[in-house]
Chain A
Amino acid sequence: MEIPTIIGAGLAVIGAGIGIGMIGGKAMEAIARQPEAYGKIQTAMLIAAALIEGIGFAAIFAG
Chain B
Amino acid sequence: MFGMQGKTLKTLLALFAFTMTFSAMATVKEAPEGEGKKDTKTEIKEYIDHHLQDSHDFNLFSYTGDDGEKHHVGFPLPVIIWDDGLHTFMSSEFHHGEEVVESNGNYYTLYHSKIYRTDASGTLNYDPEHPDHPTNARPLDFSITKSVVMMIVTGILLILLFRGLAKSYRKNEGIASGVGRFFEPIVIYIRDDIAIANIGEEKYKKYMPFLLTVFFFIWFLNMFGLTPLGVNVTGNIAVTTALAILVFLLTNFTGTKDYWKHIFDPLGDGMPWIGKIFIYIILVPIEILGMFIKPFALLIRLYANMTAGHVVLMSLIGLIFIFKSWIGGPLSFGLSFAISLIEVLVALLQAYIFTMLAALYFGFASESHDHAEEHEGEVSHL
- Counting residue pairs across A and B whose Cβ atoms lie within 8 Å, the total is 33
| Min CB–CB distance B192 → chain A (angstroms) | 10
Q: Is B190 an interface residue (CB 8 A)?
A: no
Bound CA span A49–B187, Å: 24
- Which of A18-26, A27-35, A54-62 lines the interface with chain B? A54-62
Q: Does B289 contact A (CB under 8 A)?
A: no
Within residues 353 to 375 of chain B, which ones have a CB less than 8 A from any CB in chain A? 353, 356-357, 360
| Total contacting residues, chain A, CB less than 8 A | 12
- Contacts from B to A (Cβ < 8 Å): 193, 197, 297, 300-301, 304-305, 308, 349, 352-353, 356-357, 360
Binary B-proximity of A40-51 (CB < 8 A = 1, otherwise 0): 000100110011
Q: Across the interface, do B356 and A47 meet the contact criterion of CB distance under 8 Å?
A: yes
A39 within 8 A of B: yes
B193 contact set on A, CB distance < 8 A:
39, 43
Which of B197, B301, B349 is close to A43, meaning CB atoms less than 8 Å apart?
A: B197
Known: A43-B197, A47-B356, A61-B304. 17 other contacts (CB 8 A): A43-B193, A43-B356, A46-B349, A46-B352, A46-B356, A47-B357, A50-B301, A50-B356, A53-B305, A54-B297, A54-B301, A54-B304, A57-B300, A57-B301, A57-B305, A57-B308, A60-B304
- Provide the bound-state CA to CA distance between A43 and B300, in Å: 21
A50, B300: Cα distance in complex, Å:
11
Among candidates A43, A46, A51, A57, residue contacting B304 with C-beta atoms closer than 8 Å: A57
- B-chain residues with CB within 8 Å of residue A43 when the two chains form the complex: 193, 197, 356
B67 nearest CB across to chain A (Å): 41
Kindly state the separation between the CA atoms of A11 and B125 in the bound complex, as whole angstroms: 39
Complex Cα–Cα for A53 and B297 (A)? 10
Cβ of A58: which chain B residues have Cβ within 8 Å of it? 297, 300
- In the complex, A53→B353 CA distance in Å? 11
Chain A residues with CB below 8 A from B305, complex form: 53, 57
Query: Quick one: closest B residue to A50, CB to CB?
Result: B353
Give bound CA distance, A47 to B308, whole Å.
20
A4 to B24, CA, bound (A): 37
Ranked nearest first, the 4 interchain pairs of A and B with the lowest CB-CB distance are A57-B304, A54-B301, A50-B353, A54-B297
Q: Whose C-beta in chain B lies nearest to the C-beta of A57?
A: B304
A35 CA / B86 CA spacing, docked (Å): 63
